[in-house]
């Protein structure tokens, strides 16, 4: 996972807007392993494509497996995410159409949630951790006396203080 940064860190307070995208699947009928594996296998090509095309707007991601999976990803904007989802030359659209063609069987479920967070409206703290989450996506800084509390960190950006 990487080097552990000892002490307390925050995600870069100068980070601009970020779009948080959560997506996953659930093996509703785990004994139908073929359908589950086929659905799960569609994610790796998408992530490989996004890593090879930084202009797509993906900033970083983490994923977890199990009966219900979770992929946490950070994007430059909702527009970048939508553009990737609709791009006929990217691997998402074909996988989405394939899944939608089989929806209704109940064998495998998929889900996603999207959050667009304005600059100054996010706060992330890491103690004795490798770069992770938002800090891995946008960079991090050691906590200072002026960033010691959540109230201070949330007030670092003029938008958070109502002074756009």
CATH of the domain at 68: 3.30.70.100
Same domain as 125, residue 112: no
Is position 164 within any domain?
no
Rounded Cα gap, residues 127 and 89, in angstroms? 41
pLDDT at 58: 96
Which residues of the chain register pLDDT less than 70? Answer: 1, 156-164
Task: Give the pLDDT confidence score for residue 157 in this predicted structure.
Answer: 54
Rounded Cα distance, 141 and 10, in Å: 6
99 and 33 together in one domain: yes
Please indicate, yes or no, whether residues 108 and 126 belong to a single structural domain of this protein: no
Number of domains in the chain: 2
- 55 shares a domain with 113: yes
| Sequence-distant (≥ 6) Cβ neighbours of residue 103 within 8 angstroms | none
**Per-residue pLDDT, 40:** 87
- Shared domain for 126 and 153, answered yes or no, is yes
Q: Residue 1: its pLDDT value, please?
A: 65
pLDDT in tens, 9-47: 999 877 788 999 999 999 999 899 888 888 888 899 999
23 and 36 in a single domain? The answer is: yes
What pTM was estimated for this model as a whole?
0.84
Residue range(s) defining the domain that contains residue 131:
5-14+118-159
Nearest CA among 118, 119, 137, 126 for reference residue 10: 126
Residues 127 and 97 in one domain: no
Same domain, 9 and 23: no
């Amino acid at each position: 996972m990487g080097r552990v940064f000892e002490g307390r860190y925050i995600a870069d307070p100068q980070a601009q807007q970020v779009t948080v995208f959560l997506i996953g699947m659930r093996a509703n009928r785990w004994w139908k392993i073929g359908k589950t594996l086929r659905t799960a296998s569609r994610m790796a090509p998408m992530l490989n494509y996004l890593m090879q095309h930084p202009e797509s707007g993906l900033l970083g991601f983490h994923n977890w497996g199990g009966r219900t999976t979770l992929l946490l990803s950070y994007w430059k904007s909702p527009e970048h995410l939508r553009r990737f989802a609709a791009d006929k030359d990217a691997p998402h659209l074909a996988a989405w159409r394939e899944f939608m063609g089989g929806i209704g069987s109940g064998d495998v479920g998929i889900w996603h949630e999207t959050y667009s967070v304005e600059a100054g409206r996010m706060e992330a703290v890491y103690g004795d951790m490798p770069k992770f989450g938002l800090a891995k996506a946008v960079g991090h800084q050691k906590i200072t006396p002026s960033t010691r509390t959540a109230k201070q960190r949330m007030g670092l950006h003029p938008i958070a203080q109502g002074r756009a």
